[in-house]
Structure 1
Amino acid sequence: MLKSLEGSWCLVLGASSGIGRAIALGLAGEGVHIAGVHFDTAARADEVADLVAEVEHRGVRAHFVNANAAARATRDGLVPALADLTGATGGIRILVHSLAFGTLVPFLPRPGWEQPVTGRQLAMTLDVMAHSLVHWTQDLHTAGLLRPGAKVYALTSAGTSRHLPSYGAVSAAKSALESHVRQLACELAPHGVAVNALRAGTTLTPALRRIPEHAAYVDRAAEDNPHGRLTRPEDVADAVALLSRTESSWLTGNTIGVDGGELHAAAGAWGRHPGD
């Protein structure tokens, strides 16, 4: 049975830009209060302030923290605050893991990249983009903030099965993230909490634009997609709202494509003519 999300709380890790931002605004429009963790320099302070104002303009509460979401100190400080904020309304109804900070250095030297990826860079990428999901889920569960009906979403990508020259470390992190989703789904099932990965299609976000070879990849993705366009952050926000309206935890442990058919169309050479 579907229900309104109004009055519940969502915690977005990576809330200030891209898909995280769209999810915060989309859920705020559904009456969901938004807690957000973002990691930005002072140069983006005005943009973040505008986002908070947009969230609050939708008639909900906003609690944003500028801190490293992968740091234990951030969790230690924020989880008790979240307990105070959300305890009376059922805890964290929706947790969104949308952290996109990792190294884009190739594994082996090549022209322009004389120094290959280091162990420290690999470990950082895995910690931020994968392991932090486990740590946040552990702490929120221990605090009693993930109650029956809660939903946990991790943002993954087709990079788990596709190759880009500089994407190796991030691809590994996304693969680990999907594995963590499956394990958490099984362990949280007795508690009535669903955990899924959302595989967004190619989306023009700040994280994508940092990939050195993104331009050609974007052009091909737009050509491949049966809808004739790229995925928009709002497409993913709509999916989060839709999937979160049920109390059921039966849809869990999956990687769900939110890509307009891009991945499968690309595999089948959608829209291409013989000889292309």
Structure 2
Amino acid sequence: MKLQGKVALVTGGAQGIGRAIATRLAQEGAAVIIEDLSDNPRAEETLQELQAMGAKTALLVGDVGKVADGQRVIREGVAAMGRIDILVNNAGVERRAGFLDASEADYDLVMHVNLKGPFFITQAFARHVRERGGDGRVINISSVHEELPFPHFASYCASKGGLKMLTRDLAIELAPLGITINNIAPGAIKTPINAELMDDPALLKALRANIPLKRLGTPEDVAGVAAFLASDDAAYITGTTVGIDGGLLWNYHEQ
């Protein structure tokens, strides 16, 4: 129970990696605030699962791609729980399009949710931490594509590359407040966003050939690292990225 007495906010916490992180943090003793879109039916299911575990939890509706929503979520989370100690910037989207065909609307959506959202909700969180006297954790869910090119997903790669650099910069700026900030960079993980891939045997075989461990990761693989970064065991780690990819990044090649 390494997080007993702590309060965590997980954006995009209704399903996939976000749900696994919310569950693991609750297992470690944290009170957990789940944030997700109003039209995601999995949010209430996740809330009920955490409550069944005996966790103190709350569900907040918001779109972190909108600055006002992110700021409101921090305010409402503090009002509900008294404080927030851990912020997990997990919410994310991607849109497939060749670079010559990419639309401004899709670009804006990806950048707003994946980069602008974490920027401003982290700002609101850091202001809260300053007001209560310091000490906090920020964990960004990035991607191997902060490093690895991903043809037809240029906006996604740009957003994750930006998140990596934002993490490095804020590690310096937020250190005086006792806030650490780190990225987790998952590779291929069994989540709803990869449903099409998992349903295509040929694509799945080609991907596994690029992964030295020969399997896709699970949301729980990511959640374990998030729990570590949120704990005192990681108190001297900041500004870095932890890859969770089975070795994909160092072995990848286009077919």
**Which category describes the TM-score, using the shorter chain as reference length?**
0.7 to 0.9
- Aligned 1:8-47 pairs, distance under 5 A: 8-41=6-39, 44-45=40-41, 47=42
Question: 1:120–1:224: structure 2 CA closer, same or farther, 3 Å change rule?
Answer: closer
How many equivalent pairs are there? 254
Per the alignment, residue 190 of structure 1 pairs with: 176
Structure 1 Cα separation of the partners of residues 135 and 127 of structure 2: 16
Bigger shift: residues 64-73 or 227-236: 64-73
Question: 1:126–1:107: structure 2 CA closer, same or farther, 3 Å change rule?
Answer: same
Structure 1 Cα separation of the partners of residues 20 and 177 of structure 2: 28
Unaligned runs of 5+ in 2: none
Bigger shift: residues 198-207 or 119-128: 119-128
Deviation at 1:117, TM superposition (A): 1.3
Deviation at 1:183, TM superposition (A): 1.1
Question: 1:218–1:171: structure 2 CA closer, same or farther, 3 Å change rule?
Answer: farther
Is the CA contact 2:86–2:136 (under 8 Å) kept in the aligned structure 1?
yes
- Aligned 1:176-255 pairs, distance under 5 A: 176-209=162-195, 218-246=204-232, 249-255=235-241
Question: TM-score, normalised on structure 1?
Answer: 0.82
Deviation at 1:140, TM superposition (A): 1.4
2:248 aligned to which of 262, 265, 275: 262
Per the alignment, residue 132 of structure 1 pairs with: 117
Is the CA contact 1:31–1:58 (under 8 Å) kept in the aligned structure 2?
no
Deviation per residue, 1:228-274 (Å, 9 max, x gap) = 3111100010111122221764311111112232322447x9xxxxx
Structure 1 Cα separation of the partners of residues 92 and 239 of structure 2: 21
Is the CA contact 1:202–1:218 (under 8 Å) kept in the aligned structure 2?
no
Structure 2 Cα separation of the partners of residues 57 and 147 of structure 1: 33
Is the CA contact 2:129–2:135 (under 8 Å) kept in the aligned structure 1?
no
Per the alignment, residue 75 of structure 1 pairs with: 70
Per the alignment, residue 112 of structure 1 pairs with: none
Is the CA contact 1:149–1:246 (under 8 Å) kept in the aligned structure 2?
no
Output the amino acid matched with 2:171: A
Deviation per residue, 1:167-189 (Å, 9 max, x gap) = 11111111111111111111011
Coordinate RMSD, CA, aligned: 2.7
Question: TM-score, normalised on structure 2?
Answer: 0.88
SS at match of 2:174: helix
Bigger shift: residues 21-30 or 60-69: 60-69
Deviation per residue, 1:76-106 (Å, 9 max, x gap) = 432222222333xxx3222111122233222
Bigger shift: residues 24-33 or 71-80: 71-80
How high is the sequence identity, in percent, across the aligned residues? 26
Structure whose alpha-carbon radius of gyration is higher = 1
